[in-house]
Amino acid sequence: MAKLPASLETLTEQFGPHLNREPYGGWQGRGEPEKLVKTHCCFCGQGCGIQLKVRGNRIIGFEPWEEFPFNRGKLCPKGVKRYMQDNHPDRLLHPLKRADGVGFVPIQWEEAYATTVREMRRIQAAHGPDSVAVLSGVSLSNEKSYLVGKFARMAVGTKELDYNGRLCMVSAGAGNKKAFGVDRAANSWADIVDADVILCAGTNVAECSPITTDYIWRARDRGAKLIMVDPRVTPLARTCDLHLPVRPGADSALFNGMLRVLIEGGMVNREFVAEHTSGWDETEKAALEMPLAEVARITGVREEDIVRAATMWGQAKTSFLLHARGIEHHTKGVDNVLTCINLVLATGRIGRKGCGYGTITGQGNGQGGREHGHKCDQLPGNRDIENPEHRAYIAKVWGCEPEDLPVKGHPAGEIMEMIHRGEIKGLISICFNPLVSLPDSNFTREALGKLEHYTAIDFFLNETAHHADVVLAGSLHEEEEGTVTSAEGRVNRIRAAVDPPGDAKCDTEIILELARRFGRGKYFDHFHDSEDIFNELRVASHGGTADYYGITYERIEKELGVFWPCPEIGHPGTPRLFEDLKFSTNDGKAHFNPVRYRPSAEEPDNEYPVILTTGRVVSQYLSGSQTRRIGGLVDLCPEPFIEIHPTLAEGHGIVTGDPVLVESRRGRLIVKAKVVTTIRPDTVFIPYHWAGDQSANLLTVRAYDPVSKIPEFKKACVRISKATEPR
Ligand SMILES: Nc1nc2c(c(=O)[nH]1)N[C@H]1C(S)=C(S)[C@@H](COP(=O)(O)OP(=O)(O)OC[C@H]3O[C@@H](n4cnc5c(=O)[nH]c(N)nc54)[C@H](O)[C@@H]3O)O[C@H]1N2
Ligand SMILES: Nc1nc2c(c(=O)[nH]1)N[C@H]1C(S)=C(S)[C@@H](COP(=O)(O)OP(=O)(O)OC[C@H]3O[C@@H](n4cnc5c(=O)[nH]c(N)nc54)[C@H](O)[C@@H]3O)O[C@H]1N2
Ligand code: SF4
Ligand SMILES: [Mo]
């Protein structure tokens, strides 16, 4: 072991051998497992079943879990390597505090808790309860999501609570609520297999929802046709029947154009529209306003391809429409979603076998996390924080008065702006890395520098936590019991396989202790384990649109997942919504929504002529704080790159491997060129999983959808040149 500086030597005496960062023998722990634990992958919303191999209270590997029906043993590269986080040398083993001139030093839990609570209460006493914000994340289980929501509102007593799903699921959620009154994929993935036409809009299925590929292939084995809408020819698009290379930001025009073709070709299911929907006339009018030639000009998709796509969709007997962040990460993300839903409703293909619709939820618990209470505008069960009846119900469950519940707060992006303006001065974050994941990272960095106190809860020291005053060493997915809800709406059981290492603690324990120290133990002291929290969540969600009341830990294990809504104990759960063609809206009908195309926050001009879009690669996950630490995944994609079409590259004398300087109105970035024919010539693509001077979000724009408040990650304008400095 390298010699530690003197100050750290004393700390080693104080804290024991964890400090040499090799307390568990690294990978030496491999060998035959003592037990196999059936649980789920911690990464994306596919929620794959996996068995973890455990020996000596450490995870030493994995085995496929073939009986789990969703993925039937299949895993993507991230799932295969996820177990390596557990013994990782970067794992936080103690609470830390930032000390002048020394960086972070380990501290005892007593000091960590006391400092956090003292500082937050000091800030609130001086500036009011809402001067402290809580930012959360949906890699957290349903139990932890529920607990964080209750903690922010009842213990910290702030209205400023939001979560990283604001960067992810909210456009789909808002669109789904408007159209259907409920925010969930309308079908389990089983219906994909029976669809004759599958339309995927703005989703890189093979890399980002890898197991969904298997469902699509099974449909194609039966002869199903696949249409993909993406400015890039993604791996799955390379095999599709029709690829529509839409210009980023033009989806609502494209789907309106397709609706126009359906109308003019007599392919609208008039009977379904009349009986089961409202809002058709206005929607039809809006779709007919723009001639197809104009649609083709705006979208960059050939007129005949729009007609072909619409005809394929219109004539199908069964169909499934899937979309993801490619259409949702826009200042018109909700509009884009609504135009997709309009296509589904116009053909009346919903609520029966092989007829479906869904957004592909991104994060591990992106679905459950957005239902149970850490959104700024929402209470558990997908209840509305501004609805007096909903407030009264939750107040009763929580044992408080409705007036004790804070009102609606601000979405995550606005919280960061309020921090920048000095209106919010204290921050507690858990499971969120906004310095890497919010748009315009230079702005986020400035904001973080203005906080009077910041406490972060994580198991790794992510880049945002570098700016924290106190870091609380929390727990991995496999260190606590709980549930998560997958993209399909299936509530799955995650299992505690090992204990947190060193002095790290379970997230739940940390939050409960903080709640007590905030003087609000009476609202939390009845929680003795995760199941207690889940049981309160069940009651809190009862009667809401996301009703979990009938779901129990025992049932989930026996039935290998239960689909919500499940309002009663004897209820079988609901894999397919709307089978009775009753929708969860006020009038019981599905709602068409008229949409008129409008431009994005930034459109190309002479100064910044190229469209930048951002997204993912298969081997990295989100801000990369977890996957950039796993060698096998880093090897697959060690650094960001820029995809450029040969025509654009040639104009700048750029060949593959060249360093490219990319500049926007916010910042600059140098990345290596990948010259590919699989992208539109007016568009470049950079994956966003890296931090610091490798971060795509140095370039992106702080512009938000007016309804969902999602950032416009999928379109910013840049200029490119061959860099004179190396990458
Ligand atoms: N490997 C991997 N898998 C993941 C994740 C990860 O980080 N890594 N993250 C998970 C999470 S949280 C999420 S949200 C999902 C995201 O899953 P996806 O949404 O599938 O992934 P993205 O790469 O963000 O974007 C999808 C596609 O949108 C396209 N696109 C860009 N702009 C537009 C546009 O204007 N219109 C259309 N139609 N398409 C456009 C891009 O070219 C890209 O291929 O993935 C989940 N799964
Ligand atoms: N340019 C660009 N930016 C984007 C996107 C894009 O497509 N383009 N996509 C956006 C999307 S869709 C998303 S979802 C966001 C994601 O952005 P973030 O949520 O900021 O990304 P994560 O990497 O999930 O960061 C989560 C942190 O939580 C920690 N964590 C994970 N699980 C747990 C847990 O159980 N307990 C605790 N205590 N901590 C945990 C991880 O270690 C990590 O440090 O990024 C968004 N940003
Ligand atoms: S990252 Fe997603 S697709 Fe890959 S194994 Fe995990 S849950 Fe499955
Ligand atoms: Mo996401």
- d(C-alpha 274, C-alpha 247), whole Å: 34
From 139, 363, 616, the mutation candidate for ligand 1 (largest count of ligand atoms within 8 A of CB) is 616
**Residues 213, 126 share a domain:** no
What CATH number is given to the structural domain containing 674?
2.40.40.20
Q: How many domains does the chain have?
A: 4
Both tokens of residue 560? 């290998």
pLDDT (tens digit, 9 = 90+) per residue, 210-224? Answer: 999 999 999 999 999
Residue 282 lies in a domain: yes
Q: Which of 168, 43, 91 minimizes the C-alpha distance to 462?
A: 91
pLDDT band at 672 (very low <50, low <70, confident <90, very high): very high
pLDDT (tens digit, 9 = 90+) per residue, 262-313? Answer: 999 999 999 999 999 999 999 999 999 999 999 999 999 999 999 999 999 9
Q: Which of 690, 716, 694 minimizes the C-alpha distance to 703?
A: 716
Of the three residues 537, 558, 579, the one that is the final residue of a domain is 558
Q: What percentage of the chain exceeds 90 in pLDDT? A: 94
Say how many C-beta atoms besides its own lie within 10 A of residue 55's C-beta: 16
Q: What percentage of the chain's residues is helix, strand, coil (to nearest 5)?
A: 40, 20, 45
**Residues 331, 247 share a domain:** yes
Residue 6 lies in a domain: no
Of the three residues 51, 69, 87, the one that is the final residue of a domain is 87
Q: What local confidence, expressed as pLDDT, does residue 101 receive?
A: 82
Ligand 3 centroid distance, CA of 183 (Å): 22
- d(C-alpha 32, C-alpha 422), whole Å: 54
Residue 602 lies in a domain: no
**Residues 407, 350 share a domain:** no
Ligand nearest to the CA of residue 494, numbered in listed order: 2
**Residues 142, 73 share a domain:** no
Tokens 């133990």: give the residue. 521
Residue 507 has pLDDT above 50, yes or no: yes
User: Residue 362: CB within 6 Å of ligand 2?
Assistant: yes
**Residues 628, 676 share a domain:** yes
Ligand 1 centroid distance, CA of 362 (Å): 8
Question: The domain containing residue 209 runs over which residues?
Answer: 175-359
From 163, 203, 251, the mutation candidate for ligand 1 (largest count of ligand atoms within 8 A of CB) is 203
pLDDT band at 22 (very low <50, low <70, confident <90, very high): very low
Q: Which atom of ligand 3 lies at the shortest distance from residue 210's CA?
A: 3
**Residues 280, 231 share a domain:** yes
CA distances to 179, 399, 539 from 390, in Å: 21, 14, 13
Residue 386 lies in a domain: yes
Burial (CB count within 10 angstroms: exposed 0-12, middle 13-18, buried 19+), residue 13: exposed
Of the three residues 359, 388, 404, the one that is the final residue of a domain is 359
**Residues 137, 279 share a domain:** no
Contact 526, 520 (CB under 8 A): no
Residue 7 has pLDDT above 60, yes or no: no
User: Residue 164: CB within 6 Å of ligand 2?
Assistant: yes
**Residues 245, 186 share a domain:** yes
The per-residue DSSP string of 364-380 comes to: TTHHHHTTTT-STTEET
Q: How many helices (H) and strands (E) does the chain have?
A: 25, 28
Contact 39, 497 (CB under 8 A): yes
pLDDT (tens digit, 9 = 90+) per residue, 374-433? Answer: 899 999 999 999 999 999 999 999 999 999 999 999 999 999 999 999 999 999 999 999
Peptide bond into 565 cis (omega under 30): yes
User: Residue 248: CB within 6 Å of ligand 2?
Assistant: no
**Residues 453, 326 share a domain:** no
Cβ-proximal residues to 528 (8 Å cutoff; 6+ apart), any chain: none
Q: Which atom of ligand 3 lies at the shortest distance from residue 50's CA?
A: 5
Residue 540 lies in a domain: yes
Q: What local confidence, expressed as pLDDT, does residue 219 receive?
A: 98
Residue 668 lies in a domain: yes
What CATH number is given to the structural domain containing 125?
3.40.50.740
User: Residue 136: CB within 6 Å of ligand 2?
Assistant: no
pLDDT (tens digit, 9 = 90+) per residue, 602-646? Answer: 999 999 999 999 999 999 999 999 999 999 999 999 999 999 999
**Residues 354, 264 share a domain:** yes
The per-residue DSSP string of 176-241 comes to: HHHHHSS-S-SS-THHHHT-SEEEEES--HHHHSHHHHHHHHHHHHTT-EEEEE-SB--TTGGG-S
* Vertex 369 angle, CA 365 and 620, to 5°: 35
Residue 578 lies in a domain: no
Pocket lining for ligand 1, CB < 6 angstroms? 44, 168, 201-204, 207-209, 229-232, 234, 246, 248-249, 251, 324-327, 362-363, 613, 615-616, 618, 620-622, 685, 714
Q: What local confidence, expressed as pLDDT, does residue 30 receive?
A: 58
Pocket lining for ligand 3, CB < 6 angstroms? 41, 43-44, 46-48, 75-76, 78-79, 210-211
Residue 20 lies in a domain: no
Q: Which atom of ligand 3 lies at the shortest distance from residue 40's CA?
A: 7
Q: What is the mean pLDDT of residues 163-168?
A: 98
pLDDT (tens digit, 9 = 90+) per residue, 81-111? Answer: 999 998 899 999 999 999 988 899 999 999 9
**Residues 534, 399 share a domain:** yes
- d(C-alpha 506, C-alpha 511), whole Å: 9
* Nearest-CA residue for atom 33 of ligand 2: 431
**Residues 317, 240 share a domain:** yes
